[in-house]
Amino acid sequence: MSLAAPQDFFISRLPERPIFVKLRASKPNRLSSRQQNSASRLEAKHQQRMRILLQQKETGLYFKDMGSWAPQSSEAMDFVSSTAAIDFCMTHKLGGVQMVLKFDEQPYDIVLPMLPTADRHGPRPSETA
């Protein structure tokens, strides 16, 4: 005996009198366009902006421009991605820096150490494929 569909569930108390119970798959909730707009606004309200900065390890100064470092993170250059910040360091041979991820309205930063350019050998794994 086979089930008609994956949603069917077979229960048998007695082999000669099987009982079939039909289970219905729940349909995903459909939101009206008004509810979707409201949910989008709420999500946007709770999203935080993350800035990607470079900071000198020894001085704590933030990279502002070539040859220019600033004491305040608000003055620092904001990179579009962590990869862009790493590539920038490699291209311009910036050493002794760390990447800082700053979030608006958060009391903490995430600090990521960066290897000196001399310690990096060969292409990135993504470039070898």
Residues 76-88 have pLDDT tens digits of 999 999 999 999 9
Q: What residues pair up with 94 in beta bridges, in sequence order?
A: none
Domain that holds residue 108: 50-121
Domain count, the chain: 1
Q: Are 62 and 54 in contact (CB under 8 A)?
A: yes
Q: Are 54 and 100 in contact (CB under 8 A)?
A: yes
For residue 12, is it within any domain?
A: no
For residue 88, is it within any domain?
A: yes
For residue 18, is it within any domain?
A: no
For residue 8, is it within any domain?
A: no
For residue 15, is it within any domain?
A: no
For residue 16, is it within any domain?
A: no
Find the range with the poorest average confidence among 22-36, 66-80, 94-108: 22-36
Find the range with the poorest average confidence among 31-35, 80-84, 85-89, 118-122: 118-122
For residue 64, is it within any domain?
A: yes
pTM of the predicted structure, to 2 decimals: 0.56
Mean pLDDT estimate for the chain: 74
